[in-house]
Every structure is written in structure tokens, then in C-alpha cells.
């Protein structure tokens, strides 16, 4: 299973002949190396409804006939826009042909911002994502603050690779993310959700060096890791 990072919170997983993308914020993301017009994906998994995570989901779903897996309200909203969706919710899991998906809680917001009409559309609870493929488990925390039930997530799951936000201001900062990594008892930790905007600028290498007991790894945009 090959896993690559593509700026902000975008993670691309290639396994079993399928491409699975998480939170595909491509258009408007100055850090990504992806082009939504040429990207081939089979599955899109979303953590929550904010524009910098849903991103190019509608375009990607339609041009690839891709399945969108998301929390119920967000999946319903995207269904209204013509996407093929599989709604889920926090605590629930489902076995797909590519692997097992389970949503965990996250402490954040979740809404679609319609700037033209100055409206905010509620898109349900935000979530973290546990993805298990071939007995390997990846945890994408989505956007979240630190919460003590991360200990429970770590106790109940043997997490091989975790993607944790470190940007601060909107999510955990580096200090809280270090504690989260410890509570999750994860083998490898990759920082995400940093440097896209001035207000979330961080030093990912300083964070990675302090990760314990697991290994902190900084993935440059487009770089991949095998799980």
C-alpha cells in the first residue's frame, strides 16, 4: 500500500488497484502538486464539510464516477450535487471492497461556506478517519483539537500511520499534536494542515523530531511512504 501527501490535508492511498483520496482541497491550494482536471481516483473520503477539505470533491466524483464516503449530512449535501455517496457517521464502520472505514469523533466545525450568497450550510459533525487495509491501519485525524478519547482510539486500534494537524489556530498546534501522537501510540506520525495560510505556519521538522514513542516523518508534497 502506497500513501502519499499532497499539501494541506490531502492524502492519497493506492492499494488493490484503487486510488483513495482524503480531503481533496486542490483548487486554491498553493502547496499541492495535484491537478483536479487530470486526477484519477476511485474513492473520496471526507473528514468534514469545510471548503479547504471538500475542495474539488464534486468535480472529481463526477469525472471519475468515484464514490464519496462522508458523514451523513455532508454526504447528503453532496448527493444533492449529483455525487454518488455512502453516508456514515461517528462510531460507525463499513467494509468496502478496498478496506474498512470507521469514523471517529473530532472537535471542530463542519459547514459549507457559500460566499456568493453569504450563507453557511451545516454539514454535520466533523470526523477523524480510520482506514484499515490488509491489516494495516491509517488514521487521518481531520481537523481537530486535542481530546482525551484519543487515548481510547489508541488503545482499541493498532495504528501504523497517523496524519495529525499541527497548524494551530484552527486545529491542534504542535504541542497538542505531540500529546495526541503519544496517546494514539502510533508507529509513524506525519504532520498535516500547516503552512497553507500564514496563520497556520509551522516547522514540521521540529515537530517530527519530538514525536515519541513513535517516529515522526515529514512528507514533502508528492512524497510517498509504504505502509
- Cα distance between residue 191 and residue 101, in whole Å: 21
Q: Any residues with CB less than 8 A from the CB of 1 and at least 6 apart, and which?
A: 13, 14, 15, 133, 134, 136, 226, 227
pLDDT at residue 149, rounded to an integer: 98
Q: Specify whether the CB–CB gap between 144 and 107 falls below 8 A.
A: yes
pLDDT at residue 14, rounded to an integer: 97
- Annotated domain spans of the chain: 2-218
Q: What is the pLDDT along the chain (227 residues), one digit of tens a residue?
A: 999 999 999 999 999 899 999 999 999 999 999 999 999 999 999 999 999 999 999 999 999 999 999 999 999 999 999 999 999 999 999 999 999 999 999 999 999 998 899 999 999 999 999 999 999 999 999 999 999 999 999 999 999 999 999 999 999 999 999 999 999 999 999 999 999 999 999 999 999 999 999 999 999 999 999 89
Phi-psi region of 168 (alpha: psi -120 to 50; beta: other; left: phi over 0): left
Does residue 62 have a cis bond before it (omega within 30 degrees)? no
User: Cα 169 vs. chain centroid, distance in angstroms?
Assistant: 18
Per residue in 12-27, pLDDT tens? Answer: 999 989 999 999 999 9
How far is residue 119 from each of residues 53, 69, 91, measured CA to CA in Å? 18, 24, 30
Mark out the alpha helices in 12-121 (DSSP H runs): 51-54, 57-64, 72-80
Pick one of 3.40.50.150, 3.60.15.10, 2.60.40.1180, 3.40.50.300 as the CATH number of 2-218: 3.60.15.10
Beta-bridged to residue 208, according to DSSP, are none
Per residue in 35-61, pLDDT tens? Answer: 999 999 999 999 999 999 999 999 999
Beta-bridged to residue 107, according to DSSP, are none
Amino acid at each position: 500500500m502506497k500513501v502519499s501527501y499532497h499539501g494541506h490535508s490531502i492524502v492519497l492511498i493506492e492499494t488493490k488497484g484503487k486510488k483513495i483520496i482524503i480531503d481533496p482541497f486542490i483548487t486554491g491550494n498553493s502547496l499541492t502538486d495535484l491537478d483536479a482536471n487530470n486526477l484519477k481516483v476511485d474513492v473520496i473520503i471526507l473528514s468534514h464539510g469545510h471548503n479547504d477539505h471538500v475542495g474539488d470533491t464534486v468535480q472529481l466524483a463526477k469525472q471519475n464516477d468515484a464514490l464519496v464516503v462522508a458523514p451523513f449530512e455532508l454526504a447528503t449535501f453532496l448527493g444533492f450535487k449529483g455525487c454518488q455517496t455512502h453516508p456514515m457517521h461517528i462510531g460507525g464502520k463499513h467494509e468496502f471492497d478496498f478496506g474498512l472505514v470507521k469514523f471517529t469523533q473530532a472537535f471542530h466545525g463542519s459547514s459549507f461556506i457559500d460566499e456568493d450568497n453569504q450563507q453557511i450550510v451545516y454539514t454535520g459533525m466533523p470526523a477523524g478517519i480510520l482506514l484499515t487495509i490488509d491489516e494495516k491501519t491509517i488514521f487521518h485525524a481531520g481537523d481537530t483539537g486535542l481530546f482525551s478519547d484519543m487515548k481510547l482510539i489508541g488503545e482499541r486500534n493498532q495504528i501504523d500511520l497517523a496524519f495529525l494537524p499541527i497548524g494551530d489556530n484552527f486545529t491542534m498546534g504542535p504541542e497538542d499534536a505531540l500529546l495526541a501522537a503519544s496517546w494514539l501510540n502510533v508507529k509513524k506520525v506525519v504532520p498535516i494542515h500547516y503552512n497553507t495560510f500564514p496563520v497556520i505556519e509551522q516547522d514540521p521538522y521540529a515537530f517530527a523530531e519530538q514525536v515519541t514513542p513513535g517516529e515522526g516523518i515529514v512528507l514533502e508534497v508528492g512524497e510517498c511512504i509504504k505502509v
